[in-house]
Structure 1
């Protein structure tokens, strides 16, 4: 079968099952977090539930881990795989399109602008 993002039978069934499952898990979490232990014990007969501390601690820990990853670890990984500023890969690569000669007054072909020309235009003073 061809890989496609379009919906098809099994994907629709699994997606619907995950949707229902996620809603049920969230509903159970909300009941456990908000309903007092006495009510859970007296009306539902449930005698053991984890401490309510975990209803707050787990989401906070998860968000802290996500923020640490997003603001520290992910940028550090990207910076570690980025070539140095004086590396030749920073200037050009094997896919660079070299500038070709054009007819005077014509539209130039698509090409990469050399870094020397970019620096000349941006940073050197006009005379």
Structure 2
């Protein structure tokens, strides 16, 4: 029995991936043909309803602009959601786990816990020399 959440390739995923690969190439080919063939040739082939040709430029430009603006928008939203630097929430919160609350067993790796801000400052800035 295989794990359903495993990212390893299965025959079903391989088939879906191959169909998606072929579909993407077919969609791109149709897009290029629609963008570059004249309207008379498309009508002669039997295609009477299709988008206006200006969308051949507008659609990719809009996608590019969306991807270009996504990163700055994400940074701005992250900036507005973060606490100010003088807030105590930047130091600790109710969910912080202190290392002193865990029993230390000889020979084992320490558990995951938050480090105290005084410990960080002592290690980073105490031995600092100009």
Give the alignment's Cα RMSD to 1 decimal.
Answer: 2.8
How many equivalent residue pairs? Answer: 112
Q: Which of residues 98, 121, 130 is equivalent to 1:116?
A: 121
Kindly report which structure 2 residues correspond to 1:1-127, keeping only aligned pairs within 5 A, or say none.
1-2=2-3, 3-42=5-44, 44-71=45-72, 73-92=73-92, 94-95=96-97, 97=99, 112=115, 114-117=119-122, 118-122=124-128
8 Å CA contact 1:41, 1:47 repeated in 2? yes
8 Å CA contact 1:91, 1:115 repeated in 2? no
**C-alpha displacement at 1:15, in angstroms?**
1.0
Residues 27-72 of structure 1, C-alpha deviation per residue, up to 9 Å, x if partnerless?
1001001111122223x1222321110010011111112212222x
Structure 1 residues 29, 51: closer, same or farther in 2, change over 3 A?
Answer: same
> Mean alpha-carbon deviation: is it higher for 29-38 or for 75-84?
75-84
**C-alpha displacement at 1:86, in angstroms?**
2.4
Tell me the secondary structure at the aligned position of residue 86 of structure 2: coil
- Specify every segment of 5 or more residues in structure 1 that has no aligned partner in the other structure, as ranges: 99-109
